[in-house]
Amino acid sequence: MNHFISLHDIEPARILALLDQADALKADLKAGRPHPLLPGKTLAMIFSKSSTRTRVSFEVGMYQLGGHALYLNAGDIQLGRGEPIPDTAGVLSRMVDGIMIRTYSHQDVMDLARWGTIPVINGLTDLHHPCQILSDLMTVRERKAGQLQGLRMAYVGDGNNVANSLLHGCAKVGMDIAIATPEGFECDATSIAEAMEDAARSGSRITLTHDPREAVEHADAVYTDTWISMGQEAEKERKMIPFKGFIVDAALMSLARHDAIFLHCLPAYRGYEVSADVIDGSQSAVYDQAENRLHAQKAVLASLLV
Ligand code: CP
Ligand code: NVA
């Protein structure tokens, strides 16, 4: 069974093929060419956390592909009352063609895939956000003349789910990546080791530092994300002091290449991880990233649900 749970599990050639298909689907949509690749197919979308982009891109994507998506708030289905994952997986496998899930525990997504008989897509866990990074690679390719290999990505901020998946994604496609986190907020150790493995094959160079300036120097793209991910709201006060100095502002951006783009998966908190003049400025590609979620998700759906 094919799933889309972690970019580390996916061969570089398949990632590039998904990006090509996302580009083609985007061109179809812009030209008004119908592309009903999934007629009659259904996707169950389980959400234990909030979402704007992920929910809308999957639901609209399924509609545009000629299929249908069901929004299942985890609190409204029996899963939220403790129905076991194997039963949920078994039952959904009898009724729908694929499951997209956004939840806390990455293991829950793995278990859903293990016990079900249909493709499972990770729509974000505490550990990874592969759908986001697929769309980000698509955005970088668009902005940088179709090329990823050899470009330099910088990520500044919390070593969270987005950072872990960004490490995977860059290592797979041969982009150099430098990640600057405060001490104690580094990326997941297993994800780092996995990315190192992939980087050894692709030629990507990985730099892990506590110095945002070192990470951003000569970068082609500068990425940040919220300091407080969903589920970590109680940590807000504790994080303010270590994260001081990790805001992506104009002074930090000026260390990147003059044509560098600014990336953020959104939602963003202006004045915390990014200054308003950067995210709302001319280098920002954040709405492209958000739009590309739709096209990238459709490529994933088309490849898994046919
Ligand atoms: N970037 C992202 O996944 O956004 P949502 O939380 O709105 O889905
Ligand atoms: N790191 C953020 C990403 C939101 C899309 C979170 O997990 O809340």
Question: What would the pLDDT profile of 30-56 be if each residue is shown by its tens digit?
Answer: 999 999 999 999 999 999 999 999 999
| Domain over 7-128+292-305 is classified CATH 3.40.50.1370 | yes
Task: Count Cβ atoms within 10 A of the Cβ of residue 123 and give its class: 0-12 exposed, 13-18 middle, 19 or more buried.
Answer: buried
What is the reported pLDDT for 67?
98
Residue 176 has pLDDT above 90, yes or no: yes
Per-residue pLDDT at 142? 98
The answer to whether 245 and 218 have CB atoms below 8 angstroms apart is: no
- Taking residues 238-252, report their average pLDDT: 97
Q: Of all residues in the chain, what percent carry a pLDDT higher than 70?
A: 100
- Do the two domains 7-128+292-305 and 132-289 of this chain adopt the same fold? yes
What mean pLDDT is predicted for residues 143-170?
Answer: 97
Domain ranges (residues) in the chain? 7-128+292-305, 132-289
Residues 286, 266: Cα–Cα separation, whole Å: 8
Q: Identify the CATH number of the domain defined by range 132-289.
A: 3.40.50.1370
Q: pLDDT value at position 281?
A: 98
Mean pLDDT of 160-168: 98
| Mean per-residue pLDDT over the chain, rounded | 98
Residue-wise DSSP of 189-239 = HHHHHHHHHHHHHH---EEEES-HHHHHTT-SEEEE--SS-TT-GGGHHHH
User: What are the pLDDT digits (tens) for 212-226?
Assistant: 999 999 999 999 999
From the CA of 231, how far away is ligand 2's center (Å)? 9
Find the catalytic residue in 265, 283, 289, 297.
265
Token readout for 232 is 């970590």
**pLDDT band for position 1 (cuts 50, 70, 90):** confident
| Interval 114-128: pLDDT, tens | 999 999 999 999 999
Q: For residue 178, what are its two tokens?
A: 């430098």
Could you give the C-alpha distances from 219 to 52, 88, 222, 288, in angstroms and in order? 29, 44, 7, 19
What pLDDT was estimated at residue 128? 98
The reply to whether omega before 12 is within 30° of 0 (cis) is no
CA of 226 to the centre of ligand 2 (A): 7
Whether ligand 2 lies within 6 angstroms of the CB of 162 is answered as yes
Q: What is the DSSP letter of 270?
A: B
Q: Is 126 in the pocket of ligand 2 (CB under 6 A)?
A: no
User: How many other CB atoms are found less than 10 A from the CB of residue 251?
Assistant: 11
192 lines ligand 2 (CB under 6 A): no
